[in-house]
Amino acid sequence: MSHSAPTPRVDDREVPSLVDPVFELADLTVYYDDYAAVRDVTMDVGRTQITAMIGPSGCGKSTVLRCFNRMNDLIAGARVTGKVSYHGEDLYAEEVDPIEVRRRVGMVFQKPNPFPKSIYENVAYGPRVNRMRPANMDDLVEEALSAAALWDEVKDVLKKNALTLSGGQQQRLCIARAISVKPEAILMDEPCSALDPIATAKIEDLMHDLAREYTIIIVTHNMQQAARVSDRTAFFTAEVDEEGLRHGRLVEYDVTSKIFTKPGDSRTEDYITGRFG
Amino acid sequence: MSASAVTKSPRRRRPLREGVFRVSLYACLGVGVVFLAVLLAYIVVTGWDRLDSRLWQNFPSIQIPETAGAQSAIMGTIWVLGFTALYCVPTGVMAAIYLEEYADRNRWYNRLIELNIQNLAAVPSIVYGILGLGILARGLGFGFTVLTAALTLSLLVLPVVIISGREAIRAVPDSIRQGSYALGATKWQTIWRQVLPQAIPGMATGSILALSRAIGEAAPLLLLGGLAFVTFNPAGVFSPFTVLPIQIFNWISRPQEEFRILASAAIVVLLVLLLAMNSVAIWLRNRYQKRW
Ligand SMILES: Nc1ncnc2c1ncn2[C@@H]1O[C@H](COP(=O)(O)OP(=O)(O)O)[C@@H](O)[C@H]1O
Ligand SMILES: [Mg+2]
């Protein structure tokens, strides 16, 4: 496979300027015990934009992503310094409840992880645990499944175990599940890496639709995917320190078309043209 | 290596070696199966004459073996086992949840607890009998009752319940927990709504197998006044009691042939109870095979 620079996403939608960012990272450093996995990340994330994070594996993309909904809290030994703001509020402030953060900032994982329950129960779970008590749960489930472009495929089998679905369907179910609690942002950690090209294309289309309403941050190792779907792209890499430890670092962050056509850093250029490692 | 070396040379040796290995495997398996079958057949044949309703309708009797039955022992077994389950299953499950989901493994006391549980599972049952006698029966004044017996047996099988409970919890993949947390679920909700429902079949299987160990225990109960001669069913947790293994033990040590036959019949009853419990455990395991 040749690595010519992928064509940037062609979109009639004007890329909005970041006057009102949803997230702002300032000098974010994340440690696992004493090891700084990623250092000094400063970037902001625009509302209803798709922001892609790319870079070689191990450079800390997932680590940074987990800061946006405080999933890092669940990892023993993980801690952050610097600032993560959500609409100007410090996400890691004392009084912030990580549970509430995760309700507003959903997450889709690399490997589809539906609950081993019915399709319906998978979607209804989020509203239930958040005590949303919708007037009609059936409607809410339908709405979420429709938004995830899955409704037509599953509307007659809602009682079936979610694990009987195909991988691509499972991943869209996970997206529906994330949507069910009406978050503002959705984090996706390599959501297509376990899927075939057709299922991948479906998810990419879906992200396009979702971006009308949701702020999406996607980690991907697939540069073509970043180019196709995202408005902005952050390129991370790992730097080796004197002791031989690898620390992730944000190299360049810009409008996607710019990253892929006129990268400002030679490392970015090497990576996207496939000259990297 | 040439093709002939791959295809020919082993072919000459393999049949013999493999054959010998196979035969010895069957032999080992055979020892277990044949032994069990002979034992079962012997017991059923010996006890056949007394395998009738007298066994569960009548109470034990010293003088007249012809009408003696094991009703009080059967009922005693059911009572003791029922209360054992009532005490040890919730306790064991809670302990397993704590150790798997809450305990910080870097703390010395959690590691100590873990080590202790592993060791407790290997402590001989008679030691638990002494513990029950000293602390429960005498110290706390529970006396020689169903309560004391059930608590003692609970302690005896608790490590097994905890260990199997932990395994069941650990078998629930972390991705399920993360999926739940990512939706804004609390730890409590995640455990109750995702982890436990999926761990329950495994926990139930483990608990039943643990209880089927308890059902055959005679040693600790001998110390706890599992009196051999009880002519009434337990009426509550503070009743005196006897259980099948003790009744069997008692009958076997009598000189009269009739009592030996009776013992064999009672063994069959015990085995049927045991097999029934194990079948439920196997059924549960197959019914809820891991689906991820
Ligand atoms: N839970 C964890 N505990 C300890 N180290 C971790 C953990 N998760 C990731 N790391 C380390 O942090 C670095 C960045 O990992 P990650 O964020 O997963 O990278 P990426 O997603 O870019 O592949 C790697 O060196 C990885 O080994
Ligand atoms: Mg990753």
* Residue A44, φ and ψ in degrees, nearest 5: -125, 160
Q: Please, which pLDDT band fits residue B14 given cuts at 50, 70 and 90?
A: confident
* Residue B220, φ and ψ in degrees, nearest 5: -65, -30
Q: How far is the CA of A62 from the centre of ligand 1 (A)?
A: 7
Ligand 1 atom closest to Cα of A66? 17
**What does the pLDDT look like over B248-287, one tens digit per residue?**
988 888 888 888 888 999 999 999 999 998 898 888 888 8
Please list the pLDDT of chain A residue by residue as tens digits (277 residues). 444 445 555 444 444 457 789 999 999 999 999 999 999 999 999 999 999 999 999 999 999 999 999 999 999 899 999 999 999 999 999 999 999 999 999 999 999 999 999 999 999 999 999 988 888 999 999 999 999 999 999 999 999 999 999 999 999 999 999 999 999 999 999 999 989 999 999 999 999 999 999 999 999 988 889 999 999 999 999 999 888 899 999 999 999 999 999 898 889 988 888 765 4
Q: What is the pTM of this model?
A: 0.84
Is the CB of residue A56 below 6 angstroms from any atom belonging to ligand 1?
Answer: no
Q: Are strands A89-90 and A78-86 parallel, antiparallel or unpaired?
A: antiparallel
Ligand 1 atom closest to Cα of A30? 12
Which residue from B173, B178, B185 is facing A129, i.e. has the nearest CB? B185
Q: What SS3 class is residue B206?
A: helix
pLDDT of residue A10: 47
Find residue A186's DSSP bridge partners. Answer: A106, A216
Answer for the pair B126, B218: CB distance below 8 angstroms, yes or no.
Answer: no
User: Does 3.30.565.60 match the CATH number of domain A23-111+185-272?
Assistant: no
**What does the pLDDT look like over B83-121, one tens digit per residue?**
999 999 999 999 999 999 998 888 899 899 989 998 988
CATH no., domain B56-288: 1.10.3720.10
Question: What count of residues does chain B have?
Answer: 292
Closest to B274 in 3D by CA, of B218, B204, B215, B205 = B215
Q: Please, which pLDDT band fits residue B9 given cuts at 50, 70 and 90?
A: low
Contact A178 B183 (CB under 8 A): yes
Using CA atoms, how far residue B86 sits from B157, B158, B238, in Å, is 12, 12, 16
What is the percent of chain B with per-residue pLDDT over 90, rounded to a whole number?
45
* Residue A244, φ and ψ in degrees, nearest 5: 85, 5
Find residue A51's DSSP bridge partners. Answer: A217, A232
- The Cα–Cα gap between B125 and A172 comes to 54
Q: What SS3 class is residue A43?
A: strand
CA distance B11 to chain A (A): 43
- The Cα–Cα gap between A94 and A151 comes to 40
Answer for the pair A207, A218: CB distance below 8 angstroms, yes or no.
Answer: yes
Q: Please, which pLDDT band fits residue B65 given cuts at 50, 70 and 90?
A: confident
Mean pLDDT of B229-246: 85
- The Cα–Cα gap between A18 and A45 comes to 8
Contacts of A71 in chain B (CB under 8 A): 178, 181-182
- The Cα–Cα gap between B292 and B290 comes to 6
* Ligand showing the shortest atom-to-Cα distance for residue A36: 1
Closest to B148 in 3D by CA, of B60, B224, B86 = B224
Among protein residues, the one whose CA lies closest to atom 27 of ligand 1: A58
**What does the pLDDT look like over B16-57, one tens digit per residue?**
888 899 999 999 999 999 998 999 999 999 888 888 888 888
Mean predicted lDDT score pLDDT of chain B: 87
Which residue from A76, A129, A163 is facing B183, i.e. has the nearest CB? A129
CA distance A117 to chain B (A): 9
Answer for the pair B169, B100: CB distance below 8 angstroms, yes or no.
Answer: yes
pLDDT of residue A2: 43
Q: What SS3 class is residue A251?
A: strand
Q: How far is the CA of A60 from the centre of ligand 1 (A)?
A: 6
Residue A74 touches partner B, C-beta closer than 8 Å: yes
Q: Where are the domains of chain A?
A: 23-111+185-272
Nearest CA in chain A to B186: A99
Q: Which helix (H) or strand (E) holds B84?
A: helix B71-97
Q: Which long-range contacts (CB under 8 A, 24 or more apart) does B115-120 make?
A: B117/B159, B117/B162, B117/B163, B118/B159, B118/B163, B120/B158, B120/B159
Residue pairs between chains A and B whose CB atoms are closer than 8 Å: 69
**How many helical (H) and strand (E) elements, i.e. helices and strands, does chain A have?**
10, 10
Residue matched to tokens 């299922």: A199
Closest to A238 in 3D by CA, of A51, A43, A61 = A61
Q: What SS3 class is residue A159?
A: coil
Using CA atoms, how far residue A115 sits from A165, B204, B281, in Å, is 12, 21, 24
pLDDT of residue B6: 52
Using CA atoms, how far residue B255 sits from B244, B245, B251, B288, in Å, is 19, 18, 9, 49
**What does the pLDDT look like over A84-104, one tens digit per residue?**
999 999 999 999 999 999 999
Which residue from A100, A114, A174 is facing B184, i.e. has the nearest CB? A100
- Sequential DSSP letters for B136-155: IIIIS---SSHHHHHHHHHH
Q: Where are the domains of chain B?
A: 3-50, 56-288
Answer for the pair B152, B84: CB distance below 8 angstroms, yes or no.
Answer: no
Q: Which residue type occupies A257?
A: S
Residue list, CB under 5 A from ion ligand 2: A 62
Residue B110 touches partner A, C-beta closer than 8 Å: no
Half-sphere exposure of A29 (CA within 13 A, CB side): 11
Closest to A66 in 3D by CA, of A27, A25, A111 = A25
Q: How far is the CA of B193 from the centre of ligand 1 (A)?
A: 29
Which of B68 and B156 is assigned the larger pLDDT? B156
Dihedral (CA of B53, B61, B253, B131) sign: positive
Q: How far is the CA of A176 from the centre of ligand 1 (A)?
A: 27
Distance linking the first and last C-alpha atoms of chain A: 15
Mean pLDDT of B56-64: 78
Our mutation pick for probing the ligand 1 site, out of A33, A62, A245, counting the most ligand atoms within 8 A of Cβ, is A62
Our mutation pick for probing the ligand 1 site, out of A28, A31, A32, A217, counting the most ligand atoms within 8 A of Cβ, is A32
Which residue from B176, B184, B198 is facing A113, i.e. has the nearest CB? B176
Among protein residues, the one whose CA lies closest to atom 4 of ligand 1: A32
Q: Please, which pLDDT band fits residue B178 given cuts at 50, 70 and 90?
A: very high
